[in-house]
Structure 1
Amino acid sequence: MCSLLCCKEEKEVGRHQASGECPYCGGKVEAVDVAIQWRFCFLPLCFPFKRKYFCTLCSRRLVLDNY
């Protein structure tokens, strides 16, 4: 019987400085490009890329509000 195993792996692809400042401490914002790989029974399924934003001073993850 095959055990169904599903996991998610994140790998950092690159970093660069983003515009703006942290609303909490006023520090610089850094954009991190992340490749996400879903695995099902050790077979890779997809490789979506996401961009996450962090403050370089207080290390908080910042979320953009798109209106």
Structure 2
Amino acid sequence: MQLCGLIGLADPPRDSVKQDIETCTEAGVRIVMITGDNGNTASAIAKKLVCLTATKLSPVMSLIK
């Protein structure tokens, strides 16, 4: 067997998303992330945007399993 190629894809959030989340949170808007990505991908994005804590992640991950 021989590796013929490898492709990596990324669909990063827009540059303004982090500030938009902070603005909405300060205004009292409850932020919820709904995605079709797998749990690890969703967790990585949420952590990058600093909108996910371990206490919020735990119940979500139990639903994914």
Bigger strand share = 1
Q: Which has the larger radius of gyration?
A: 1
TM over 0.5: no
TM-score normalized by structure 2? Answer: 0.29
Higher relative contact order (CA 8 A, sep 6+): 1
TM-score, normalized by length of structure 1? 0.28
Higher helix share: 2
